Structure 1
Amino acid sequence: MRAGIPEHGRIPRYYAAKTELLALIEELGEGAPLPAERELAERYGVSRVTLRQAVGELVLEGRLIRRHGSRTVVAPPKLLQPLALVSYTEGMRAQGIEPGRTVITAEPMPADAQLAEDLGLEPGGEVVHLERVLLADGERVGLESSYLPRERFPELLGEFDASGSLYAFLREKLGVVFGEAEERIETVLATPREALLIGTNPATPMILLHRVSWTPEGEPIERVRSLYRGDRFSFATRLRARG
């Protein structure tokens, strides 16, 4: 494939229309409505069914947004979250975006075998579970579940405002120093519950991050599962050669 064109040179009609739409999106700019479906189908010489397929892909990719009761509009640029030991709050504020969280769960729970192993606990040891919907300028964009050893962080349930930054509380109030983390990334579809909490279509691709972090001395701090809308987020990191 070169620029989307297969080696045999035959381009699906929906893809040709999608390429035309991408050029139109760049011309229109963020928030602008697309012309009517009939007009676009005639302009690009395709059926309305073919045009809908092209538009549907661009919606899934986060280039267009379908709004209830109005036309499809050009989406804003994707939010960029660094793959680094920084909090969601820091990542959003670096882009001029106001972060927020809606608390779903803040409670103790027993750790299963895998969670206990990740956090250096005996199976059944208590952890604090924080489940929060992530907001960006008031828009729901993700769902985060954090698990921390309760015995090491007894202040969490009594003193921590779960609508705020967990990393800021750990650093500033408890003196926790993050040393390193291991992160795994995959693409998934949201469960019906997750889609409802985030307010997204269950067919929208999601980006799932699993992270375990430790102090510089190797003591586990947290395990976190972060689910982000694939149509609203991209991730970046800087790589260096070993040695």
Structure 2
Amino acid sequence: MPSPMPLAAARAGVPERGELPKYFQVKQKIDAVLDELRPGAPLPTERQFADRFGVSRMTVRQAIRELRLEGRVQRSGRSSVAGQPKLVQPLTLASYTEGVRRQGLRPGRQLVVFERLAAPPALAAGLRIEPGAPVFHLERLLLADEERVGLESTYLSADRFPALTDEFDPSTSLYGHLRRSGVVFADADERIETVLASPREVQLIGTSPALPMLLLNRVTRDAQGCPVECVRSLYRGDRFSFTARLTPEPD
């Protein structure tokens, strides 16, 4: 899916009134330097940037901190390097595995939890089952070329999929397994918001507690309109962006 063209005015960041903060001016200049570097290339040091732009190292540090949160800069040991391009995930009824593979990267999933539990009322309502009915909870780390980029929790009715723990390999695509089992995915409701990761999620994903995360909550339904799964997916904001194709609703 082609991405929309960036707007120069938006990137310029010029406020309606007043001057640009000095750190933001430096951020723009470093951003231009990054445009000339390949991913993983080392950046000049803070002192070199400070001398080059005639500002303090503290101002440079603040600019680089923001660029790091945006994914434009990454840390490599004690140095800073140009960041990797963000993974672009389409908002479609496709699995994470399929989306990452389309971008030429090697998808992977690492099992954290695969358990059977009683559905609390909110989850039961999402799956349209009775509160307390058994559900499977599958929690996995999301990997792209062995890099940890997210965390996904999936809940499914254990009565509907009683053999899931015996038949499904957690390192593979759950969507692929369900399709082979006869499930036809029809539609889904998905909500996207920004959050900060919990201490547990920070430890699992291996990211900074200050890094904004993209949280997706999805309920997926089959061709009969019956919920198949409730999914909570947490993605690193510095490594992911999402696209969607929009069409007009009928009048």
TM-score by length of 1: 0.97
Provide the C-alpha distance between the structure 2 equivalents of 1:98 and 1:28, rounded to a whole number of angstroms. Answer: 24
1:98 aligns with 2:100: no
Q: 2:23 aligns with which of 14, 20, 34?
A: 14
CA distance in 2, matches of 1:66, 1:162: 31
Q: Does 1:200 align with 2:207?
A: yes
Cα deviations across residues 167-209 of structure 1 (Å, max 9, x unaligned)? 000001x110001100000000000000100010111100000
Q: CA deviation at 1:50?
A: 0.5
Which residue identity lines up with residue 183 of structure 1 in the other structure?
E
SS state at 1:184 partner: strand
Q: CA RMSD in A?
A: 1.0
Task: Specify the code of the residue in structure 2 equivalent to 1:11.
Answer: L
SS at 1:28 equivalent: coil
Q: Distance in 1 between matches of 2:202 and 2:35?
A: 29
Matched, 1:160 2:168: yes
**1:79-111 per-position Cα deviation (integer Å, ceiling 9, x unaligned):** 011101000001001101110011011111100
CA distance in 2, matches of 1:101, 1:11: 43
Specify every segment of 5 or more residues in structure 2 that has no aligned partner in the other structure, as ranges. 1-8
> Counterpart in 2 of 1:219?
226
Unaligned runs of 5+ in 1: none
Deviation at 1:41, TM superposition (A): 0.4
Shift of 1:229: 0.2
Equivalent residue in structure 2 for 1:72, among 64, 72, 80: 80
Amino acid at match of 1:162: P
3-state SS, counterpart of residue 56 of structure 1 = helix
Structure 2: which amino acid aligns with 1:220? P
- Matched to 1:82, the amino acid is P
> Whole-Å Cα distance in 2 between the matches of residues 198 and 43 of structure 1?
36
Where in structure 1 do 4 or more consecutive aligned residues deviate above 4 Å?
Answer: none
| Deviation (angstroms), 1:29 | 2.1
- 2:32 is aligned, of 23, 26, 32, to 23
1:9, CA displacement in angstroms? 4.2
Tell me the secondary structure at the aligned position of residue 81 of structure 2.
Answer: strand
**SS in structure 2 of the partner of residue 66 of structure 1:** strand
Q: Deviations over 1:122-179 (max 9, x none)?
A: 100000000000000000000000000000001211110011100000001x110001
State yes or no: 1:242 paired with 2:249.
yes
Corresponding residue number in structure 1 for 2:157: 149
Distance 1:31 1:104 in 2: 29
In structure 2, give the amino acid aligned to 1:150.
A
Distance in 2 separating the partners of 1:115 and 1:28: 47
| Equivalent in 30, 39, 42 of residue 33 of structure 1 | 42
Match of 1:54 among 48, 57, 63: 63
- Tell me whether 1:82 sits opposite 2:90 in the alignment: yes
